[in-house]
Amino acid sequence: MKKDIILAGVGGQGILSIAAIIGTAAVSSGIYVKQAEVHGMSQRGGDVQSNLRLSSAPIASDLIPFGKADMIISVEPMESLRYLPYLSPEAWLITNTTPFINIPNYPEVENVMAEVRKVKNHIVLDADQMATEAGSARSANMVILGAASPFLDIAMEVLEKAIRSTFGRKGEEVVNMNLNALRIGRQLADAQMTN
Protein backbone atom coordinates (compact mmCIF):
# COMPACT_ATOMS: atom_id res chain seq x y z
CA MET A 1 0.00 0.00 0.00
CA LYS A 2 1.23 3.50 -0.84
CA LYS A 3 -0.77 6.72 -0.62
CA ASP A 4 0.87 10.07 -1.20
CA ILE A 5 -1.51 12.86 -0.29
CA ILE A 6 -1.26 16.63 -0.62
CA LEU A 7 -3.51 18.50 1.78
CA ALA A 8 -4.21 22.06 0.73
CA GLY A 9 -5.98 25.09 2.10
CA VAL A 10 -5.55 28.48 3.71
CA GLY A 11 -4.00 28.99 7.17
CA GLY A 12 -6.60 28.30 9.85
CA GLN A 13 -8.86 26.06 7.73
CA GLY A 14 -7.96 22.91 9.62
CA ILE A 15 -5.90 20.89 7.16
CA LEU A 16 -3.62 19.80 9.95
CA SER A 17 -6.51 18.11 11.76
CA ILE A 18 -7.29 16.18 8.59
CA ALA A 19 -3.65 15.15 8.47
CA ALA A 20 -3.63 14.23 12.15
CA ILE A 21 -6.69 11.99 11.80
CA ILE A 22 -5.44 10.17 8.71
CA GLY A 23 -2.05 9.86 10.38
CA THR A 24 -3.49 8.43 13.60
CA ALA A 25 -5.66 6.00 11.63
CA ALA A 26 -2.68 4.85 9.56
CA VAL A 27 -0.40 4.37 12.53
CA SER A 28 -3.07 2.32 14.33
CA SER A 29 -3.20 0.09 11.24
CA GLY A 30 0.56 -0.48 11.36
CA ILE A 31 1.24 1.68 8.29
CA TYR A 32 4.36 3.87 8.03
CA VAL A 33 3.61 7.60 8.03
CA LYS A 34 5.55 10.74 7.18
CA GLN A 35 3.89 14.09 7.29
CA ALA A 36 5.52 17.39 6.45
CA GLU A 37 3.61 20.45 7.57
CA VAL A 38 3.98 24.19 7.31
CA HIS A 39 4.36 26.37 10.40
CA GLY A 40 5.12 30.01 10.95
CA MET A 41 4.89 32.78 8.40
CA SER A 42 2.46 31.15 5.96
CA GLN A 43 -0.20 30.67 8.62
CA ARG A 44 -1.43 34.26 8.54
CA GLY A 45 -4.10 33.82 5.86
CA GLY A 46 -1.52 32.55 3.38
CA ASP A 47 -1.67 29.28 1.47
CA VAL A 48 -0.73 26.17 3.46
CA GLN A 49 -0.12 22.60 2.44
CA SER A 50 0.95 19.39 4.03
CA ASN A 51 2.56 16.35 2.43
CA LEU A 52 1.15 13.19 3.95
CA ARG A 53 2.75 9.92 2.96
CA LEU A 54 1.42 6.49 3.95
CA SER A 55 3.09 3.23 3.00
CA SER A 56 3.38 -0.38 4.05
CA ALA A 57 7.14 -0.07 3.45
CA PRO A 58 9.45 2.47 5.16
CA ILE A 59 9.24 5.92 3.53
CA ALA A 60 12.38 7.74 2.38
CA SER A 61 11.52 11.35 1.63
CA ASP A 62 9.36 13.70 3.71
CA LEU A 63 8.36 15.40 0.47
CA ILE A 64 6.24 13.87 -2.27
CA PRO A 65 7.97 14.00 -5.66
CA PHE A 66 6.31 15.86 -8.54
CA GLY A 67 3.80 13.78 -10.46
CA LYS A 68 3.61 11.10 -7.78
CA ALA A 69 0.78 12.21 -5.50
CA ASP A 70 -2.20 9.84 -5.37
CA MET A 71 -4.56 12.59 -4.32
CA ILE A 72 -4.98 16.22 -3.49
CA ILE A 73 -7.42 16.91 -0.68
CA SER A 74 -8.28 20.59 -0.54
CA VAL A 75 -10.55 22.63 1.68
CA GLU A 76 -10.46 25.52 -0.80
CA PRO A 77 -10.96 25.32 -4.59
CA MET A 78 -8.21 27.61 -5.88
CA GLU A 79 -5.73 26.07 -3.45
CA SER A 80 -6.44 22.62 -4.90
CA LEU A 81 -4.99 23.79 -8.23
CA ARG A 82 -1.76 25.11 -6.76
CA TYR A 83 -0.43 21.56 -6.35
CA LEU A 84 -1.33 20.06 -9.74
CA PRO A 85 2.35 19.55 -10.66
CA TYR A 86 2.44 16.96 -7.86
CA LEU A 87 -0.58 14.97 -9.02
CA SER A 88 -0.08 11.73 -10.93
CA PRO A 89 -2.24 11.31 -14.06
CA GLU A 90 -4.56 8.69 -12.53
CA ALA A 91 -4.88 10.44 -9.20
CA TRP A 92 -7.91 12.02 -7.50
CA LEU A 93 -8.55 15.64 -6.67
CA ILE A 94 -11.08 16.16 -3.89
CA THR A 95 -11.99 19.73 -3.17
CA ASN A 96 -14.39 21.98 -1.38
CA THR A 97 -16.17 24.47 -3.64
CA THR A 98 -16.53 27.30 -1.10
CA PRO A 99 -13.84 29.84 -1.90
CA PHE A 100 -11.84 31.60 0.79
CA ILE A 101 -11.48 35.09 -0.62
CA ASN A 102 -8.94 37.19 1.26
CA ILE A 103 -7.10 38.65 -1.73
CA PRO A 104 -8.32 41.33 -4.12
CA ASN A 105 -7.41 39.36 -7.27
CA TYR A 106 -9.21 36.11 -6.46
CA PRO A 107 -10.26 34.65 -9.84
CA GLU A 108 -13.89 34.06 -10.87
CA VAL A 109 -15.09 31.01 -8.98
CA GLU A 110 -16.59 29.47 -12.15
CA ASN A 111 -13.17 29.65 -13.82
CA VAL A 112 -11.58 27.97 -10.84
CA MET A 113 -14.14 25.18 -10.95
CA ALA A 114 -13.66 24.78 -14.69
CA GLU A 115 -9.96 24.12 -14.07
CA VAL A 116 -10.82 21.66 -11.33
CA ARG A 117 -13.12 19.77 -13.68
CA LYS A 118 -10.30 19.40 -16.19
CA VAL A 119 -8.69 16.95 -13.79
CA LYS A 120 -9.86 13.54 -14.90
CA ASN A 121 -10.74 12.14 -11.48
CA HIS A 122 -12.32 14.69 -9.20
CA ILE A 123 -14.85 14.97 -6.41
CA VAL A 124 -16.22 18.43 -5.74
CA LEU A 125 -18.50 19.31 -2.88
CA ASP A 126 -19.71 22.33 -0.97
CA ALA A 127 -18.40 21.10 2.34
CA ASP A 128 -19.20 24.34 4.17
CA GLN A 129 -22.84 24.17 3.24
CA MET A 130 -23.12 20.45 3.89
CA ALA A 131 -21.56 20.88 7.30
CA THR A 132 -23.87 23.78 8.12
CA GLU A 133 -26.95 21.86 7.05
CA ALA A 134 -25.86 18.96 9.21
CA GLY A 135 -25.62 21.36 12.15
CA SER A 136 -21.85 21.29 12.44
CA ALA A 137 -20.65 24.33 10.54
CA ARG A 138 -17.15 24.03 11.96
CA SER A 139 -16.61 20.51 10.63
CA ALA A 140 -16.31 21.29 6.92
CA ASN A 141 -12.82 19.80 7.01
CA MET A 142 -14.25 16.48 8.25
CA VAL A 143 -16.81 16.50 5.41
CA ILE A 144 -13.88 16.79 3.02
CA LEU A 145 -12.09 13.97 4.78
CA GLY A 146 -15.23 11.85 4.41
CA ALA A 147 -15.32 12.62 0.69
CA ALA A 148 -11.69 11.55 0.38
CA SER A 149 -12.12 8.42 2.47
CA PRO A 150 -12.98 6.00 -0.38
CA PHE A 151 -9.48 6.54 -1.80
CA LEU A 152 -7.49 6.19 1.39
CA ASP A 153 -7.35 2.40 1.74
CA ILE A 154 -8.23 2.87 5.39
CA ALA A 155 -11.49 1.42 6.70
CA MET A 156 -14.19 3.87 7.82
CA GLU A 157 -14.23 2.31 11.30
CA VAL A 158 -10.53 3.05 11.69
CA LEU A 159 -11.03 6.68 10.61
CA GLU A 160 -13.96 6.98 13.02
CA LYS A 161 -11.83 5.62 15.83
CA ALA A 162 -9.15 8.17 15.00
CA ILE A 163 -11.73 10.95 15.17
CA ARG A 164 -12.86 9.68 18.57
CA SER A 165 -9.32 9.66 19.90
CA THR A 166 -8.46 13.06 18.38
CA PHE A 167 -11.55 14.93 19.55
CA GLY A 168 -12.31 12.78 22.64
CA ARG A 169 -10.98 15.44 25.00
CA LYS A 170 -13.50 17.94 23.69
CA GLY A 171 -16.51 15.85 24.69
CA GLU A 172 -19.10 13.56 23.12
CA GLU A 173 -20.92 16.37 21.32
CA VAL A 174 -17.88 17.47 19.34
CA VAL A 175 -17.01 13.85 18.53
CA ASN A 176 -20.48 13.15 17.15
CA MET A 177 -20.52 16.36 15.14
CA ASN A 178 -17.28 15.37 13.45
CA LEU A 179 -18.34 11.75 12.90
CA ASN A 180 -21.54 12.99 11.32
CA ALA A 181 -19.59 15.32 9.04
CA LEU A 182 -17.29 12.46 8.03
CA ARG A 183 -20.25 10.27 7.08
CA ILE A 184 -22.09 12.83 4.96
CA GLY A 185 -18.87 13.54 3.08
CA ARG A 186 -18.45 9.82 2.44
CA GLN A 187 -22.02 9.45 1.18
CA LEU A 188 -21.55 12.27 -1.27
CA ALA A 189 -18.33 10.80 -2.66
CA ASP A 190 -19.97 7.41 -3.07
CA ALA A 191 -22.87 9.05 -4.92
CA GLN A 192 -20.57 11.07 -7.23
CA MET A 193 -18.54 8.00 -8.09
CA THR A 194 -21.52 5.87 -9.05
CA ASN A 195 -22.85 8.65 -11.29
Partner 1 sequence: MQKLVLLGDEAIAQAAIDAGISGIYAYPGTPSTEITEYIQHSKEAAAKGIRACWTANEKTAMETALGMSYAGKRTMVCMKHVGLNVAADPFINSAITGANGGLLIVSADDPSMHSSQNEQDSRFYGKFALVPILEPSNQQEAYDMVRYGFDLSEHFRLPVMLRITTRLAHSRSGVETRPQREQNAVSLPTNLRQFVLLPAIARKQYKNLLSQQQALISESESTGFNIFIEGTDKSKGIITTGLAYNYLMENFADRKVPYAIVKIGQYPLPINMIEKLANECDEILVMEEGMPLVEEHLAGLLHRGIKVRGRLDGTLPRDGELNPNIVAVALGFADTRGEEIPAIVASRPPSLCVGCPHTDSYIALNEAMESYSKGRVFADIGCYTLAALPPLQSINSCVDMGASITMAKGAADAGLVPAVAVIGDSTFTHSGMTGLLDAVIHKAPITVLILDNSTTGMTGGQSSEAFGRLKDIVTGLGVEPEHIRILKPLRKNHAENVQAISEELNYDGVSVIIPTRECIQTLNKRLREKFKNKK
Binding site for partner 1 (CB under 8 A): 10-11, 23-24, 27, 32-47, 59-68, 78-79, 81-82, 84-89, 102-103, 105-107, 111-112, 115, 119
Strands (E), 56-162: 69-74, 87-96, 121-125
If the CB atoms of residues 26 and 145 are measured against partner 1, the closer one turns out to be 26
Query: Could you give the dihedral angle defined by the CA atoms of residues 95, 84, 4 and 66, in that order, rounded to the nearest 10 degrees?
Result: -170
Q: What's the rounded Cα separation, in Å, for the pair 195 and 190?
A: 9
CB 86 within 8 A of CB 64: yes
Strand 87-96, strand 47-55: pairing: unpaired
If the CB atoms of residues 79 and 130 are measured against partner 1, the closer one turns out to be 79
If the CB atoms of residues 6 and 152 are measured against partner 1, the closer one turns out to be 6
If the CB atoms of residues 36 and 158 are measured against partner 1, the closer one turns out to be 36
